Amino acid sequence: MEKQIVKPSILPGFMELLPAEQISFNWMMDTIRKNYESFGFTPIDTPTIEKSEILLAKGGGETEKQIYRFSKGDTDMSLRFDLTVPLARYVAQHYSALNFPFRRYHIAKVFRGERNQKGRYREFYQCDIDIIGNNSLSIVNDAEIPSVIYATFKDLGFDNFVIRINNRKVLNGFFDSLGIADKGAVLRIIDKIDKIGVDNVKAELAELEVQSEAIEKIIEFISIKGKTDDTIETLKAMQIENESFLSALNELETVVNYIRKFQVPDTHFVVDLTIARGLDYYTGTVYETILSDYPSLGSVCSGGRYDNLAENYTKQSLPGVGISIGLTRLFYQLNEAKMIQMNTSATKSKALLIAFDGYMDYAIELAAKLRANHIICEVYFEEGKIRKKFGYADKQGIPYAISIGENEVETSSYTVKDMATGEQKNMNLEEMIKILC
């Protein structure tokens, strides 16, 4: 009887990479991790599956529709859809064992059963940092976050990007000064300005029965553009006599001053009064990051300040500030746009060791010596023609092939072939280590 074959495939909306791309992806993830760690963020790793009552404690909205929820026995469980809810649960649960401010990073997969569309994934990596205070958290933290973004994206190889910064309280205070009741609705409309344009924003605000004078002021306000210091001066000059506005403006100015202390150059951050970032979560500073060579990607790293992280799980007041990089989507977009120099090797091996008949022992020994010098390498163990062996090095993108035979063993000098140029040279161990390191 013929064995039944199931056609090998994965579900739509899931990313799976071939080795060369995977190496690039992992390099990005490692680079993000290294930068997060250098600022003293500490790793946590929460369960992928949590109680549904925990993940859905906040309830409502898109989340409930998109979540992967299921039962096993009597247990109602779900896959996490972000890393913020698990962080809130973690901090509330382990409150007495943690020291505050609690600086954590978390890089892991999250799951959302979204409608399937190009570049949107149902399983994707988020790379988050957050700083959680106990009752209070200094505004200086809000200024450190852009310096982490700056260091990370620089290290990822980007030169041209801008971190857009705003403060939700500035907007709120301004709306208060105009006597606007439904600030959430106005924010929602403003948030769309890049997509729908000024005229549509005006129209939608009018529909909301915002007075035309107020609409003009709103448009004037969110049209303030230019250098960070000019923006702040313009805001001051508006002479808005609203206390929360003035204190927020002072906060924004403080953040800007400290960002400079953190050595983020003015070329890489700007105050942008149009940024609101969602509706009911962020309460102060907010961030977006735009790759200047490819603004259509939208924000590649976003976040902000929130007053109370874990109100669904504890009565403790836990203010925080954080950001997230959606790595899977970012990688897809960069790859599509050919914005990243994709690794072309299917392995990290620097050398393939090829033994002539009867010299496998020496190849194995040499590989151990190279590894002892931190050189990633592999030995070709299979039998076959010498062409096939070099062909494997070529197809895998291994930069050097080292032959080991009678001559090599007698002279302790090995034939090293540069696979890119085809050039061959005889080298002793020391010389090899030098070029392979």
Residues of this chain, 68-107, that bind a second copy according to CB under 8 A: 68-70, 72-73, 75, 77, 79, 89-90, 92-94, 97-99, 101, 103-104
Check residue 4 for interaction with a second copy (CB under 8 A). yes
Closest approach, Cβ 131 to a second copy, in A, equals: 9
Of 378, 403, 377, the C-alpha closest to 390 is 403
Check residue 186 for interaction with a second copy (CB under 8 A). no
Closest approach, Cβ 139 to a second copy, in A, equals: 8
Among 31, 51, 217, 283, binds a second copy (CB under 8 A): 51
The length of the chain in residues reads 437
Among 382, 410, 423, 430, binds a second copy (CB under 8 A): 382
Among 234, 242, 254, 347, binds a second copy (CB under 8 A): 347
Closest approach, Cβ 324 to a second copy, in A, equals: 19
Quick check: bond before 101 cis, omega within 30?
Answer: yes
Question: CA–CA separation, 197 vs 430, rounded Å?
Answer: 64
> Token match 């995977």: residue?
22
Quick one: 140 or 206, whose CB is closer to a second copy? Answer: 140
Check residue 262 for interaction with a second copy (CB under 8 A). yes
Among the residue ranges 190-198, 243-251, 341-349, 426-434, the one whose residues contact a second copy (CB under 8 A): 341-349
Among 16, 199, 241, 423, binds a second copy (CB under 8 A): 16
**Beta-carbon contacts of residue 201 (< 8 Å; ≥ 6 apart):** 189, 190, 192, 193, 219
Of 260, 263, 261, 237, the C-alpha closest to 249 is 237
Q: Which residues of 396-413 are buried (b: 16+ CB within 10 A; e: fewer)?
A: bbbbbbbbbbeebbeeeb
Contact letters for a second copy, residues 263-292 (x by CB under 8 A): x-----------------------------
Check residue 47 for interaction with a second copy (CB under 8 A). yes
Among the residue ranges 33-41, 164-172, 235-243, 278-286, the one whose residues contact a second copy (CB under 8 A): 33-41
Check residue 10 for interaction with a second copy (CB under 8 A). yes
> Token match 């509706």: residue?
279
Quick one: 242 or 254, whose CB is closer to a second copy? Answer: 254
Chain residues 117-136 in contact with a second copy, contact rule CB under 8 A: 122-123, 133, 136
Quick one: 109 or 425, whose CB is closer to a second copy? Answer: 109
* Amino acid symbol at 20: A
Among 28, 84, 111, 252, binds a second copy (CB under 8 A): 111
**Beta-carbon contacts of residue 239 (< 8 Å; ≥ 6 apart):** none
Reported for 319-322, long-range contacts at CB under 8 A and 24+ positions apart, including other chains, are 319/132, 319/133, 319/135, 319/136, 319/137, 320/130, 320/131, 320/132, 320/133, 320/137, 321/130, 321/131, 321/137, 321/141, 321/142, 321/145, 321/284, 321/285, 322/84, 322/128, 322/129, 322/130, 322/131, 322/145
Quick one: 178 or 398, whose CB is closer to a second copy? Answer: 398
At 393 the three-state DSSP class reads: helix
Among the residue ranges 67-75, 220-228, 273-281, 425-433, the one whose residues contact a second copy (CB under 8 A): 67-75
Among 84, 126, 141, 302, binds a second copy (CB under 8 A): 141
Of 265, 259, 280, 282, the C-alpha closest to 167 is 282
Q: Report DSSP state, residue 95.
A: G
Chain residues 291-330 in contact with a second copy, contact rule CB under 8 A: 310-315
Among 225, 227, 236, 261, binds a second copy (CB under 8 A): 261
Question: CA–CA separation, 302 vs 323, rounded Å?
Answer: 5
Q: How many CB atoms lie within 10 A of CB 388?
A: 11
Q: How far is CA 387 from CA 356, 360, 395, 405, in A?
A: 12, 17, 12, 15
Closest approach, Cβ 259 to a second copy, in A, equals: 10
Q: Report DSSP state, residue 281.
A: S
Question: CA–CA separation, 36 vs 386, rounded Å?
Answer: 46
Check residue 11 for interaction with a second copy (CB under 8 A). yes
Chain residues 348-377 in contact with a second copy, contact rule CB under 8 A: 348-349, 360-361, 364-365, 368, 371, 374, 376-377
Closest approach, Cβ 293 to a second copy, in A, equals: 26
> Token match 């306000």: residue?
221
Closest approach, Cβ 20 to a second copy, in A, equals: 9
Total number of residues that touch a second copy (CB under 8 A): 100
Among 5, 239, 341, 357, binds a second copy (CB under 8 A): 5
